[in-house]
Structure 1
């Protein structure tokens, strides 16, 4: 029941990440070379960020008080070893620190998470290039919005400005094979082990439970341990084999790169189902009504018998997609179209709904080196066969109820930056607009390059729109942020 808001969280941190390169050089660029001595490259960075909310909300009794101050720290260290012309190994260690406090610096907390980043072995042969290990994969023309880009889980715990491209997509263990067959490039992927999205249910500004939802925190614990409970709170079962499978074929037709892909993958957010009797009891409590005695007795008997009243399982979905990319003057144009016959959404009562869905993405980005860098992406979603009493949570307004219909979501995302003073100063703006409910996000930023290795930044996030719109849902989280990045 509490999972519905996480459906839209996947949109928020990704908004201005319309185009980027995945970590590590492409296989095609590394398949040549005759060096007999291993080449070793070590790189990394440390990033620190502090945020202060623009409005200090009073402490709430339902456990959903906001953080008025937040701190984040990320560190990465990569060792890249080219063993020979046919072998390459990469190992990356990552660490995440985060902390925050509510108004008056109450309920302060912090956590530290070391984890493995990309760690893979590349093998290059005459017929096929193979990569095995922890890796970031890319299906589709648009690296982050393509409907077939389903292999890597996302980190949904940070806001729009905080999140960098390399932070959003988390590496997953997989085997990838890339081969050239005549004029075609064929990519096959198998990710055998399941890895879910990382998200917060409560206790953080970007958590699934926001006050407008009308649901209190499901448990009372000390701040020092509540974040460690989040990854397992909504799930009761995880998928096993066969894992995620995908096939992508691309080829050039004149100046246009065309392609198609098929993906069969587990969704990375759990499908949470609450028993109708338990749901009725919880809603009565929220309204302040006395509990029905017969209902309580029935639930007690079912609990004694070992019956599960809440389940959180990860559904599977098929996606078929087509893509196209080409250069238009100094800009790159990317187009993706995809269809899934069954995908999980949530109704306004937070009950899971399995619906077919069509997605289309059109992106334009700067393709040449310039002081002006930009990207604009339009993403559309159509969900047919929504019942007359159904309403997709956060995706459509209440006026859509009352007739069977097709639900639509339109999302326009932009990111523009301009370098001044010989590249020492960069000013930019990220933004997103959802026109049906008129919800938006505006994120101005400025960065100063102190030296080649030290960068300072100042930015802000402003959310707007109705309480049940994609960005208005997080409207209380407007903040100003300062950052420091040190390249190692």
Structure 2
């Protein structure tokens, strides 16, 4: 499980991936494969619009929500098999977003073209190598596994809007895959840093929701605010040596066992405010008068060019063990991991570095069937939480008062059923966090108009206390309509 304030909020979109498997394994070619290059082109276009079930009135603090949202996502990829030992993939992607508050106030839109997966595969007798933009997978569960931290995440869309391939963003990396006796060994190097994509304010899934009591950090026109957000919380990005990872797997009877290790930068900044600046912000939050000496001190320090806030990306180690096996028609996956230090946030948004033990148990449909399901339970133990500390969104305020090991549990289920020879599809995604009893329910129905056209209707309902994993977003209940075109 990933941590830090943006990471905790990432629980919501991550739910869509409970049943997903790795997008595409490294391909192998037989010696009698054709020498002439073969070219495959694939792509799709997805459009979605959402309307909130409750229209929140305009706010003066810049934290008003969108009551109307729309987005479009397109991808086009070319897969060229140059020879039995060479393969080239190049994919382009584009994202469009738009929205408006009640009365179509503060309307805005943005368009983002970017490179998707773009890599060269080289297959040899001893090792297969992939270099370029790619999606990596560590652990039995390719999205919740404790060491699956090498790809940044797309955290700006909601649970229903995300498809499995949307959450993990490709990174430029070199990956080597080799077989040594019964073992499969994967080594990865990600030399350049890529951060998660998230919104700080001004969007439904933004980090700052009104109940936080934190004002918008900048006052700008709605048309440019989203362009500022990728760097709003950071003051420094990591350089070399980058991220590295090692994974070893092997079969023991019917069970696939493995272990992995990563040394990587966290993908969200660890934000620290100067104590004087924090005191000023808290006083304004409570409506109290600000001490004149404090204001003078801050003014002098700003004039001297002193930084009053830092946003740096902490580095972490992680180790994990994994196991996968088939049990009847289902696949069972288990991951258990440990990290000596990861970033969390307290209830006053102060960063806390804590060791963590995490585990994931998942079961999913492994045979072709009209019924497709997955159930995933993920847990987290954080020892050494102080008596005056509360882990934001992970613990209720009543946990304060004694030193403890904090626990967090999350149950995710995704069930779908196809009728009328696959033309009609109905399903339900849900999540439940038992400690604070927060939940998310997302029913959906879809109709396959043709082989390449699919239309759907879905809803999202959030519930729970204001500072729980899902209750934090409880003003964002909405109904969504979608269209998907496969090329």
Alpha-carbon distance in structure 2 between the residues aligned to 1:298 and 1:144:
47
Q: Where does residue 278 of structure 1 map in the other structure? A: 277
Report deviation, 1:30. Answer: 4.4
Give the 5 Å matches for 1:4-403.
Answer: 5-23=5-23, 25-30=24-29, 34-403=33-402
Alpha-carbon distance in structure 2 between the residues aligned to 1:86 and 1:320:
33
Report deviation, 1:290. Answer: 1.5
Which string of whole-angstrom CA distances, capped at 9 and with x for unpartnered residues, describes residues 441-470 of structure 1?
000001100000000000000000000000
Alpha-carbon distance in structure 2 between the residues aligned to 1:321 and 1:298:
48
Report deviation, 1:306. Answer: 2.2
Paired residue secondary structure (1:375): strand
Report deviation, 1:259. Answer: 0.0
Matched, 1:421 2:420: yes
Alpha-carbon distance in structure 2 between the residues aligned to 1:83 and 1:455:
33
Paired residue secondary structure (2:12): coil
Report deviation, 1:19. Answer: 3.2
Alpha-carbon distance in structure 2 between the residues aligned to 1:471 and 1:222:
29
Alpha-carbon distance in structure 2 between the residues aligned to 1:318 and 1:57:
43
The 1:317–1:4 alpha-carbon spacing in structure 2 relative to 1, beyond 3 Å, is closer
TM-score, normalized by length of structure 1?
Answer: 0.98
Alpha-carbon distance in structure 2 between the residues aligned to 1:341 and 1:306:
35
Alpha-carbon distance in structure 2 between the residues aligned to 1:154 and 1:65:
25
Alpha-carbon distance in structure 1 between the residues aligned to 2:319 and 2:111:
39
Which string of whole-angstrom CA distances, capped at 9 and with x for unpartnered residues, describes residues 105-124 of structure 1?
11110000000000000000
Report deviation, 1:29. Answer: 3.6
Report deviation, 1:48. Answer: 0.1
TM-score, normalized by length of structure 2?
Answer: 0.98
1:35·1:84 contact (CA, 8 Å) conserved in 2? yes
Which string of whole-angstrom CA distances, capped at 9 and with x for unpartnered residues, describes residues 400-448 of structure 1?
0000011110000000000000000000000000000000000000110
The 1:435–1:30 alpha-carbon spacing in structure 2 relative to 1, beyond 3 Å, is farther
2:135·2:151 contact (CA, 8 Å) conserved in 1? yes
Report deviation, 1:4. Answer: 6.4
Matched, 1:409 2:435: no
1:4·1:208 contact (CA, 8 Å) conserved in 2? no
The 1:4–1:330 alpha-carbon spacing in structure 2 relative to 1, beyond 3 Å, is closer
Q: Where does residue 469 of structure 1 map in the other structure? A: 468
Report deviation, 1:5. Answer: 4.1
Report deviation, 1:288. Answer: 1.3
1:388·1:402 contact (CA, 8 Å) conserved in 2? yes
Alpha-carbon distance in structure 1 between the residues aligned to 2:451 and 2:385:
53
Report deviation, 1:34. Answer: 2.1
Report deviation, 1:304. Answer: 2.4
Q: Unaligned stretches of 5+ in structure 2? A: none
Report deviation, 1:20. Answer: 2.3
| Count of residue pairs brought into register by the alignment | 485
Paired residue secondary structure (2:220): coil
2:4·2:343 contact (CA, 8 Å) conserved in 1? no
Alpha-carbon distance in structure 1 between the residues aligned to 2:374 and 2:457:
21
Q: Where does residue 439 of structure 1 map in the other structure? A: 438
1:16·1:414 contact (CA, 8 Å) conserved in 2? no
Alpha-carbon distance in structure 1 between the residues aligned to 2:31 and 2:199:
44
Paired residue secondary structure (1:8): helix
1:93·1:117 contact (CA, 8 Å) conserved in 2? yes
1:91·1:120 contact (CA, 8 Å) conserved in 2? yes
The 1:263–1:271 alpha-carbon spacing in structure 2 relative to 1, beyond 3 Å, is same
Q: Unaligned stretches of 5+ in structure 1? A: none
1:177·1:187 contact (CA, 8 Å) conserved in 2? yes
- Using the TM superposition, name which of 300-309 and 457-466 deviates more: 300-309
Alpha-carbon distance in structure 1 between the residues aligned to 2:438 and 2:475:
13
Report deviation, 1:104. Answer: 0.6
